Copies of this chain bind each other. A is one copy, B any other.
Amino acid sequence: MYRTNTCGELNLSHVGKNVTLSGWVQRARDLGGMTFVDLRDRYGITQLAFNMDKNAELCLEARKLGREYVIQVSGLVAERESKNLKMPTGEIEIIVDSLKVLNTADVPPFTIEDVSDGGDELRMKYRYLDLRRNPLKQNLMLRHRLAQEVRRYLDSKNFMEIETPVLMKSTPEGARDFVVPSRMNQGQFYALPQSPQTLKQILMVAGYDRYFQIVKCFRDEDLRADRQPEFTQIDCEMSFVDRDDIIETIEGLMKYLFKTVKNIEFKDAFPLMPYSEAMNFYGCDKPDLRFDMRFVDITSIAKGKGFGVFDNAEYIGAICAKGCSEYSRKELDALTDFVKKPQIGGSGLVYVKYGADGSIKSSVDKFYTPEDITVWLNAAKAEKGDLLLIVCGPKEKTLKALGELRLEMGNRLGLRNPDVFVPLWVVDFPLLEWDEESKRYFAMHHPFTAPVDEDVPLFDTDPGKIRAKAYDLVINGVEIGGGSVRIHSKDLQSKMFNAMGYTQEEVDYQFGFLLNAFRYGAPPHAGLALGFDRLTSMFAGLDSIRDVIAFPKNNAGRDVMLDAPSVIRDEQLKELGIAVVAKKE
């Protein structure tokens, strides 16, 4: 051991003790007679003191230390004269009597501080330096803590962690697979799993009853800010359960995590919201319920007064922004611009200011009397001082635009506090989605998702209306996870494939392996997967998952630190029986 203690643990109770510490030089301050060095390791920072009068040679040595040098020191723990009570070690310092440089360090290309001066690409390239910074270290420690607690909880509930293969089989549906050429089976490829979905269902057929895994999954998709080609899931499956059993189990896990990791207690059950309600009142399937601002449908009460835009709209919806009646022209213009952005898709914005004095002022005063508008205000339960924001147009598109406007107002009004967590379950998703282009239904979740029992007759009359036994866990507007009850009956599965227009041949080709297993006694089962990266970033109060991953890839799918991917040797290609095809310009 190069140390007797870490840099995070010494305090007044250790005064008078001789200790040895090792770590990195965070900073050095030369005050003439004294030189102070902050020594850092994973556990904290301890101040080292060198006295020019008492030991000039050593003090001069200390003055030569550069940033991020790795050193070992021995000395006496002493009470500090000027204490720093913000640090656990802030009441003591080490009067150093020996110093050894274990390693020197080049000058880092950016500062190793909570807020660094390095740009994104530079910090990605020198990830090992970026990872020294406190915020990243805290994120990875949180991730570690969460992973341990997830396992502890699920283990206590009789879940078995079972590893499924990474070298899997390519699946013809879903997102793009990463593939791995096989040397021993030339011309053939393994695929990296997009999820262990089929294998966890196989494990239920095998009788394992309760499975989980914290597992890497892979999708070769074009990357967005919050996507990584490899990501981590908490994957679960249970047998002999129905929807509410899964919800109860996972809710138990989430409550345990919030309690043990963040000391936040959720006493009540997380609310269940049908998909239709989420869409109609929040304009998306993952509503942020940290604030209310539900949509108010004023279609029927706003039509028929001669305002063409409203009269021709399929849907007219409003949200009530509390206390915003004094918004300026500029602010309202900004909101109008926001709504009209292509990615938002609204055609415009109508406002009603309900002044603190009871006055009513709107952008459609020409068409509506104050009495007309009062009806809207009442519908929206608006109070004096509030602002009504109204969007209209085709229903689906307008709901979506209003949903975005609602979130924007939430941001502006500071209603989306990252320290507040509001979870809910979105349920009753549609089982099937109609695809206009191919004129057929697709499974909204996947083709093994079970329908709600009472909706089964709709297979014959109106498949699009069937609700699924699917569920998403949503926290603060982020989909943390989702899953479904699976179909375990052959008859029901046939109905499902029929509704999707599959031929028997297609079914066999795409799903034969799993259906074969199902012939040998498949139990009723259901499952769910939680996005572990996203869960961690939510617990960390971050928007992006990148900084809760030790070695993430950039938007081009590259690891700029490792410089991967890279070209491989010709012999290697030859051995694998593949060739690189010249890219067309």
Contact = CB atoms under 8 A, between A and B. Distances in A.
B203 A562 contact: no
Interface in A230-273: 230, 232, 239-242, 245
B104 A521 contact: yes
A210 B170 CA distance: 37
Contacts of A208: 42, 131, 137, 140
Contacts of A102: 488, 523-524
A527 interface: no
A247 to B, nearest CB: 12
A413 interface: no
A162 B202 CA distance: 29
Contact of A583 (B187, B564, B566): B187
Q: How large is the interface on A (under 10, 10 to 19, 20 to 34, 35 or more residues)?
A: 35 or more
A345 interface: no
A318 B345 CA distance: 87
B128 A206 contact: yes
Contacts of A169: 559, 562-566
Interface stretch (A113-121, A441-449, A572-580): A572-580
A546 interface: no
A550 interface: yes
Contacts of A520: 68, 105-106, 108, 126, 128-129
B163 A563 contact: no
A451 to B, nearest CB: 17
A174 interface: no
Given A132-B207, A148-B151, A189-B568, A167 B229 contact: yes
A138 to B, nearest CB: 12
Contacts of A180: 178-180, 192, 565
A556 B207 contact: no
Given A190-B564, A240-B22, A161 B144 contact: yes
Contact of A185 (B185, B558, B568): B558
Contacts of A160: 140-141, 144
A493 to B, nearest CB: 11
A70 B562 CA distance: 51
- A contacts with B: majority SS: loop
B579 A581 contact: yes
Contacts of A206: 127-129, 131-132
Nearest to A102: B524
Given A206-B128, A208-B42, A580 B187 contact: yes
The 10 A-B pairs at the shortest CB distance, nearest first, are namely: A105-B521, A169-B564, A2-B240, A131-B206, A188-B565, A182-B565, A42-B209, A68-B521, A128-B206, A169-B562
Interface of A: 1-3, 6, 22, 24, 40-43, 68-70, 72, 102-106, 108, 126-129, 131-132, 137, 140-141, 143-144, 147-148, 151-152, 155, 160-170, 172, 176-192, 199, 202-203, 205-210, 216, 218, 220, 222, 229-230, 232, 239-242, 245, 488-489, 513, 517-524, 549-551, 553, 556-559, 561-569, 572, 574-581, 583
